[in-house]
Amino acid sequence: MLDHSWIESMQYELNQFKRLDVWELTKRLIEINIIGVEWLWKNKTYTQNTFFSKSHLVAKGFCQEEGIDLEESFSPVARLKVVKMFMAYVANKKYTIYQIDVKISFLNGPLKEEVFVSQPD
């Protein structure tokens, strides 16, 4: 995992956290449950012959307990039925559809509650 491309990918992810002011360093309180973090790595493909390394720093949310340090939340994802209706409408009207990829969309959403995570290793 010490390949230069992985280190660059991890540094990019950490820079996005810093740029968007995602977290702040605080003193650890005993009564607060700290959620661990871990790195996820994946090789993504540009074309058949080229690929790039992608790293994500994720919280281990499975350590939380509902009612203690967890509130139910949902990801804003469209239902398949709605997507199909949209595609049918667009095809009927002969509109053009464009696609975008928001690389760090999960970092842009505000949280209602405070979440305490450990520092990455």
- Using the predicted structure, report yes or no on whether residue 50 has a pLDDT greater than 80: no
Residue 100 domain-assigned (yes or no): no
Range(s) of the domain holding residue 35 = 4-74
Mean pLDDT of 95-113: 71
Element (H, E) at 88: helix 80-93
Residue 39 domain-assigned (yes or no): yes
Question: Into how many domains does the chain fold?
Answer: 1
Q: Which long-range contacts (CB under 8 A, 24 or more apart) does 26-32 make?
A: 26/116, 28/116, 32/116
| Count of CB atoms situated within 10 Å of the CB of 102 | 8
- Using the predicted structure, report yes or no on whether residue 111 has a pLDDT greater than 80: no
| Count of CB atoms situated within 10 Å of the CB of 9 | 20
% residues pLDDT > 90 (the chain)? 13
Residue 119 domain-assigned (yes or no): no
- Cβ-Cβ contacts under 8 Å for 107 (sequence gap 6 or more): 16, 17, 20, 22
The band of 62, judged by pLDDT with boundaries at 50, 70 and 90, is: low
% residues pLDDT > 70 (the chain)? 76
